[in-house]
């Protein structure tokens, strides 16, 4: 105890760093004993380099900063293989996602929502609206329906079963905005609703618009 880091010099530490670099690049998983030994070594060296750095100035300081950074990189690399090995064990034991079931449910519910949209669209067309107007009106109805169901607290129940089936259509987009508005109303209309209504939908709007501009330009030039 006390002055455990005495007797260390800059060259000695550099030599150690290089030695470890070789060994760490060779073997993937170190034994527990070797690892804690390395961790201890690295900690001692790190403290020392840091301490020297605070006492130095100019070029000398830069040298110590580089040494410290090198040690920090090794400290990080050292635990990586152990973390990976652990993740493999944990992943093996994790319950599997029900991908097939989820896909089928998404297909069915997404299909139902689109069918409802199609029926409404056809009714508008029958009623005498032009194709473009009918499409817009259908979107309005679907969005209103989704917002209404969100407000009543049903859309999240539906989403639990339907997954992507309720997220992907326009109704999912409406749900993301209305649910945000409801959530943040408690923080007031300015910092709550106003500031955070697009928390979920924001990225879709930003990147949707950006991509549409790019696609539009491509279309313009190759037309």
Partner 1 sequence: MAQKKLGKQTFKFSSNPIISSEAAVVGPMEGKGPLGEKYDMVLDNTFAGENTWEKAEQKMMQYSMELALEKKGFLPSDLDIYLAGDLLNQIISANFTARFLNTPFLGLYGACSTLIEGLCVAGILLDGGFVDRIGVSASSHHNTAERQYRYPTEQGTQRPMTAQWTVTGSGSFVVENSGSGVILTHATIGKINDMGISNANDMGSAMAPAAFDTIKAHLQDTGRKPDDYDLIVTGDLGLLGSNVLKEMMRREKISVDNITDCGTLVYSSNQDSHSGGSGCGCSAIVLSSHFMGKLLAGEYKKIFFVGTGALLSPITSFQGESIPSIAHGIVLEYMGGRQ
Stretch touching partner 1 by CB under 8 A, among 19-27, 43-51, 135-143, 169-177 = 43-51
Residue 117: closest CA among 162, 153, 170, 159: 170
With respect to partner 1, which residue has the nearer C-beta, 53 or 162? Answer: 53
- Length of the chain measured in residues: 223
Q: Does 54 bind partner 1 (CB under 8 A)?
A: yes
The span from the CA of 190 to the CA of 115, in Å, is 38
Query: At closest approach, how far in Å is the CB of 66 from partner 1?
Result: 11
Stretch touching partner 1 by CB under 8 A, among 15-23, 104-112, 119-127, 180-188 = 180-188
Q: Which of 10, 14, 47, 125 binds partner 1 (CB under 8 A)?
A: 47
Q: Which of 21, 30, 43, 200 binds partner 1 (CB under 8 A)?
A: 43
With respect to partner 1, which residue has the nearer C-beta, 31 or 54? Answer: 54
Residues 74-113 vs partner 1: string with x where CB under 8 A?
Answer: -x--------------------------------------
The span from the CA of 184 to the CA of 90, in Å, is 36
- Other residues' Cβ atoms within 10 Å of the Cβ of residue 150: 22
The structure tokens listed for 222 are 């190759």
Q: Which of 8, 10, 14, 44 binds partner 1 (CB under 8 A)?
A: 44
With respect to partner 1, which residue has the nearer C-beta, 36 or 212? Answer: 36
With respect to partner 1, which residue has the nearer C-beta, 22 or 186? Answer: 186
Q: Which of 10, 21, 30, 39 binds partner 1 (CB under 8 A)?
A: 39
With respect to partner 1, which residue has the nearer C-beta, 65 or 137? Answer: 65
Q: Using CB under 8 A as the criterion, which residues of the chain lie in contact with partner 1 when the complex forms?
A: 1-6, 39-40, 43-44, 46-48, 50-51, 53-54, 65, 69, 75, 186-188, 191-192
């Amino acid at each position: 105890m006390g002055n455990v880091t005495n007797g260390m010099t800059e060259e000695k530490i550099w030599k150690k760093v290089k030695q470890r670099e070789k060994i760490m690049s060779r073997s993937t998983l170190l034994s527990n004993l070797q690892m804690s030994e390395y961790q201890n070594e690295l900690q001692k060296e790190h403290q020392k380099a840091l301490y020297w750095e605070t006492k130095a100035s100019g070029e000398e300081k830069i040298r110590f900063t580089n040494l410290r950074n090198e040690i920090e990189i090794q400290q990080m690399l050292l635990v990586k293989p152990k973390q990976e090995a652990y993740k493999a064990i944990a992943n093996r034991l994790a319950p599997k996602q029900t991908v097939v079931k989820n896909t089928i449910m998404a297909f069915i519910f997404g299909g139902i929502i689109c069918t409802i949209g199609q029926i409404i669209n056809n009714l508008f067309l029958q009623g005498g609206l032009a194709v473009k107007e009918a499409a817009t009106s259908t979107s309005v109805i679907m969005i209103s329906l989704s917002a209404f169901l969100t407000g009543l607290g049903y859309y999240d129940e539906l989403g639990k079963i339907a997954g992507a089936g309720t997220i992907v259509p326009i109704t999912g987009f409406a749900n993301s905005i209305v649910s945000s508005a409801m959530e943040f109303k408690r923080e007031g209309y300015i910092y709550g609703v106003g500031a955070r209504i697009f928390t979920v939908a924001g990225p879709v709007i930003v990147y949707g618009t950006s991509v549409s501009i790019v696609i539009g330009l491509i279309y313009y030039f190759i037309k």
